[in-house]
Amino acid sequence: MFVDLDGFTEICAQEPVEAAFELVCAFQRHIAVCLGRTGGTLHRCLGDGAMTTFGTATADASCATRALRCARTILARVAMWNRVRRRRGLRSVSVSIGAQYGDIVLGRTDAAGSADVSVIGDPVNVASRLEGIARTLGAAMVTTEDLVARVAQESGAGAPELAGLARLGARLARGRTAPVAVWLLPLADA
């Protein structure tokens, strides 16, 4: 799953650098809390974004459900954060989320002695592209048929994590030749 703070380039252009830095720090703290509540793993903070996985630290039969639960937890937490921000006279923020399910490889690439752990695989690339599609569509989250089907298998077709998702159809993700069947969660009124 990829999550990104929308409009951060514009925020950086309009706000003092200290305010932008504090915004990113607060955003990352919120993501960490949500991951802690849903058993996700933060693999990399990407400035105003984060790359996360579920089921990589300990494999289990609920990783897809926990990923969607985390996405919804992030969206709820951002809505709460926005209420606090508005009371303080600060602008609201939004996030875009892209999530995919599938097999990945997790490991160290040993590049120049780097201690970084890489997460490699088509699901990683697709999730990253879906996050961009979510932003383009003005959606809270875009996910795939693979993830939706896996959640239905794990938790049943009526799982609360699937509520409000709408089938969007096939979309071509940058860098892929085959389209991906995607689902969208619209933005909620804040």
Query: Are 3 and 74 spatial neighbours (Cβ–Cβ below 8 Å)?
Result: yes
Task: Kindly report the pTM of this predicted structure.
Answer: 0.91
What does the alpha-carbon distance between residue 26 and residue 18 come to, in Å, rounded to a whole number? 12
Query: Are 19 and 115 spatial neighbours (Cβ–Cβ below 8 Å)?
Result: no
Q: Note the pLDDT of residue 103.
A: 85
Length of the chain: 190
The tokens describing 169, both together, are 């159809």
Query: Are 143 and 96 spatial neighbours (Cβ–Cβ below 8 Å)?
Result: no
- State the DSSP H helix or E strand holding residue 41, giving kind and residue range, or none if neither: strand 40-45
Going 107 to 4 to 134 to 174, the CA torsion angle's sign is negative
Hey, which residues does 180 pair with through a beta bridge?
171
Q: Note the pLDDT of residue 49.
A: 92
Q: Note the pLDDT of residue 104.
A: 84
What does the alpha-carbon distance between residue 32 and residue 106 come to, in Å, rounded to a whole number? 20
Q: Note the pLDDT of residue 77.
A: 96
- Put residue 19 in one of left, alpha, beta given phi > 0 → left and psi -120 to 50 → alpha: alpha
- Domain 2-186 fold: Alpha-Beta Plaits (3.30.70)
Q: Note the pLDDT of residue 172.
A: 81
Please classify residue 110 by burial: count the beta carbons closer than 10 Å to its beta carbon, then call 0-12 exposed, 13-18 middle and 19+ buried: exposed
- State the DSSP H helix or E strand holding residue 107, giving kind and residue range, or none if neither: strand 105-108
Hey, which residues does 186 pair with through a beta bridge?
139
For residue 51, the tally of other CB atoms under 10 A from its CB is 19
The tokens describing 47, both together, are 């400035």
Q: What is the residue-level pLDDT of the chain in tens, covering all 190 positions?
A: 999 999 898 988 998 999 999 999 999 999 999 999 999 988 888 889 999 999 876 667 899 999 999 999 999 999 999 999 999 999 899 999 999 998 888 777 766 666 677 788 889 999 999 999 999 998 999 999 999 999 999 999 999 999 999 999 998 888 888 889 999 999 875 4
Domain ranges of the chain: 2-186
What is the residue type of 10? E
Q: Note the pLDDT of residue 190.
A: 41
| Pairing assessment for the beta strands 117-120 and 2-5 based on DSSP bridges | unpaired
